[in-house]
Amino acid sequence: MAGTHRWLLAGDRDVHRCWWCGDDPLYRTYHDTEWGFPQADDDRLYEKLCLEGFQSGLSWLTILRKREHFRRAFRHFRVAAVARFGARDVARLLGDAGIVRHRGKIASAINNARRARELQDEFGSLAAFLWRWAPEDDPRPAPVRGDAIPATTTASTALAKELRRRRWSFVGPTTVYAFMQATGMVNDHLVGCTTRARAERARARFVRPG
């Protein structure tokens, strides 16, 4: 596979992508249309935090391939619905081969829905709370190589610490930074990536919740 830079992949019609999406069409669509674009919907933000937790120890492509089944199993990640899950739901999920059957991660998703409800009550929305932690301006130089992107930042460490203080689980600084990248709180598309400018324009138009 040819590329104009060792960290970029060349595609059709002069499209260049970050190296990590590879050849998989599902992964490329995720890269081109979702990753790095700002998100303010509470259920979608909760979903992404959950799936980043489920991804721990696995590849994101594994989770992406299971995402539609995850959505059906978790009532489309509606915060209010998952917050009501009980023992019968846990048993159902542990028997569902279409998701990652990890008791701790399933329990965490239910717990975090209940904690998300608390944040909705306190801040008006989960989005209003989470976007408080996004940097106003990304203080890092624009990354030009894949190995220039950090696994954690000061902001992700601070948000993870606050979430754990509020009794969330599976929300370490690395998981939280992956969430921040995915939901457009930062723009980590590489310089030269065709999607980088579109994501930045979307971020510029975005009105932060709260």
7, 27, 35, 52: the catalytic one is: 52
Locate all alpha helices (DSSP H) within the chain, ordered by sequence.
Answer: 25-33, 42-55, 60-73, 79-82, 87-94, 103-123, 126-130, 154-165, 173-182, 194-205
What CA–CA distance (Å, rounded) separates 9 from 32? 13
19, 30, 34, 133: the catalytic one is: 30
19, 20, 34, 60: the catalytic one is: 60
| Known catalytic membership, residue 30 | yes
Cβ-proximal residues to 88 (8 Å cutoff; 6+ apart), any chain: none
| Closest listed residue to residue 79, CA positions, set 39, 50, 101 | 50
| Known catalytic membership, residue 52 | yes
User: Is the torsion defined by CA of 179, 184, 188, 193 positive or negative?
Assistant: positive
The amino acid sitting at 119 is: L
Let me know: does 56 contact 112? Beta carbons within 8 Å. no
| Known catalytic membership, residue 60 | yes
What CA–CA distance (Å, rounded) separates 43 from 34? 15
Question: Tokens 């915060």 correspond to what residue?
Answer: 79
The pair of three-digit structure tokens given for residue 3, joined into one six-digit string: 């590329």
Catalytic residues: 30, 52, 60
